[in-house]
Structure formats: structure tokens, C-alpha cells
């Protein structure tokens, strides 16, 4: 049986995005046309529009659409801005569709060529490397990650330009909190919680056990 992905995308926006208070029309419009199934691991395309995370490479997953949409609305992308998507290929596609100059940073071991092909968008710069070594990438107006971390790395905060926003989920147990970081005009960073979320942890970004004496 052939799956009707076009109808599935429309239903996804109606039932997972709009019903979760995502009212930003450019986000909705982008999600109606981006082929999320292209990012699924082989044989998993049928999961593309389900209410849950989707694996795009061994150990690496897209957030469920509801969380991606709410995070994007929180960081409030504006056409013409620069964007960094950290281990976030689907979010990168949405940001590019919204008119942002987007860089996608993929972790070591993920096939950059395969993800680039899945994106099918020459406007997105795809690079691979250490997710905490961002110095060479420059600064960005908005940034987003499609996985949870125990604590937001300082390296991610350092690439946020004045007036910029970073959205990331911090999680140390079963549940997590999506946090919005904002770089003020004086260069100071502020943060607030925006919603509950529990995406899979990014490999290597969980709490490391300490030593007890």
C-alpha cells in the first residue's frame, strides 16, 4: 500500500501543530510542504508524521513535530536572519523555507551527503563536526537543537548574536524543559522556560557521573 504523505503532512499540521498553540503561519506553511519522510531511516518513512521522535541516523533523532514547532515559534525566526540548526535537519529545512540563511551542523558519524540529499535545498549549508566546536561557524540570529541536553553548552550560547535567540531542551530525567535563551543589547544572556518536552538525549550530552569519596 502506498502511503499518502501529502495528506499526512496536512493532518500533522492540523492535529499536532495548530492544536498545540502554534499560531505562526510561516511555520505552519513550511511544515505543510517539507517532506519529513525524506529524513527517516530506511524502512521507517511510515513513522514520519506520527506523534513521536523519528530516527534519521543511528542514535540521532528528530524531535516530534509538536516540539519542533513550539520551539521554532519561541525563537521567532524572521526572514533574512541567519540560523544554526544543531543536529536538527528537519528544523533546518523549516528555517530555510521561512527565508533564513541556514547552517545545519551534523555530528560526527552522520552521513552529511545523505542528509544534504534529503534536504534537497541548496540554500542550506550542511557541515559535520564536533557539536561543541562552533568557533569557525560565526554568529547567528537564531539557533535550535532537535535533541535534549543535560545542560546547554557554553559554546552554543557563544554563537548567539546580540538580539539573537537559542531554543534547546534541557533534561536530566524522564521529563525536560524547553528553554529560550536571549542575547540582550548589552550582550548579556537571559533565559526562561517555555514548555515541557522530552525528546531523546543527544549522545554524549547527558550528565556525566562524578566521583564520590
| pLDDT computed for residue 208 by the predictor | 57
Question: What single DSSP character describes residue 201?
Answer: B
Rounded-to-integer distance, Cα 16 and Cα 10, Å: 10
φ, ψ of residue 157 in degrees (nearest 5): -70, -35
| pLDDT computed for residue 1 by the predictor | 52
What pLDDT, in 10s, does the model give residues 160-187?
Answer: 999 999 999 999 999 999 999 999 988 8
Query: DSSP letter string over 70-131?
Result: HHHHHH---TT-EEEEES-HHHHHHHHHTT-EEEEEEPTTS-HHHHHHHH--TTEEEEES-T
Own/partner long-range contacts of 36-41 (Cβ < 8 Å, ≥24 apart): 36/9, 36/12, 36/62, 36/65, 36/90, 37/3, 37/5, 38/118, 38/119, 38/120, 39/89, 39/90, 39/115, 39/118
| pLDDT computed for residue 212 by the predictor | 43
φ, ψ of residue 52 in degrees (nearest 5): 180, 170
Percent of the chain at pLDDT above 70?
A: 96
- pLDDT (mean) for 46-68: 93
What pLDDT, in 10s, does the model give residues 85-134?
Answer: 999 999 999 999 999 999 999 999 899 999 999 999 999 999 999 999 99
- The alpha carbon torsion through 16, 46, 34, 69 (nearest 10 deg) reads 30
Percent of the chain at pLDDT above 90?
A: 88
| pLDDT computed for residue 105 by the predictor | 98
Kindly give, in sequence order, each residue whose CB lies less than 8 Å from that of residue 105, ignoring residues fewer than 6 positions away: 84, 85, 86, 87, 127, 128, 129, 131, 134, 137
The band of 3, judged by pLDDT with boundaries at 50, 70 and 90, is confident
Domains detected in the chain: 5-197 (3.40.50.150)
Query: DSSP letter string over 56-85?
Result: EETTEEEPPHHHHHHHHHHH---TT-EEEE
Which cell goes with 70?
513550539
- pLDDT (mean) for 57-76: 96
Q: Kindly report the pTM of this predicted structure.
A: 0.93
The band of 33, judged by pLDDT with boundaries at 50, 70 and 90, is very high
Residue 210, pLDDT > 90, answer no
Amino acid at each position: 500500500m502506498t502511503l499518502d504523505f501529502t495528506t499526512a503532512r496536512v493532518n500533522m499540521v492540523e492535529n499536532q501543530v495548530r492544536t498545540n498553540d502554534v499560531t505562526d503561519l510561516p511555520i505552519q506553511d513550511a511544515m505543510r510542504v517539507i517532506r519529513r519522510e525524506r529524513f527517516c531511516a530506511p524502512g521507517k518513512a511510515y513513522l514520519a508524521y506520527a506523534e513521536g521522535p523519528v530516527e534519521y541516523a543511528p542514535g540521532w533523532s528528530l524531535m516530534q513535530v509538536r516540539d519542533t514547532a513550539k520551539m521554532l515559534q519561541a525563537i521567532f525566526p524572521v526572514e533574512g536572519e541567519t540560523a544554526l540548526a544543531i543536529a536538527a535537519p528537519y528544523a533546518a529545512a523549516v528555517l530555510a523555507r521561512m527565508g533564513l540563511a541556514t547552517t545545519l551542523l551534523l555530528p560526527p558519524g552522520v552521513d552529511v551527503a545523505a542528509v544534504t540529499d534529503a534536504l534537497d535545498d541548496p540554500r542550506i549549508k550542511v557541515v559535520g563536526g564536533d557539536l561543541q566546536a562552533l568557533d569557525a561557524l560565526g554568529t547567528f540570529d537564531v539557533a535550535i537543537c532537535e535533541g535534549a541536553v543535560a545542560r546547554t553548552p557554553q559554546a552554543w550560547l557563544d554563537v548567539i548574536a546580540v538580539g539573537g535567540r537559542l531554543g534547546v531542551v534541557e533534561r536530566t530525567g524522564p521529563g525536560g524543559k524547553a528553554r529560550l535563551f536571549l542575547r540582550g543589547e548589552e550582550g548579556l544572556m537571559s533565559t526562561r522556560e517555555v514548555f515541557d518536552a522530552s525528546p531523546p538525549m543527544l549522545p554524549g550530552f547527558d550528565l556525566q557521573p562524578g566521583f564520590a569519596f
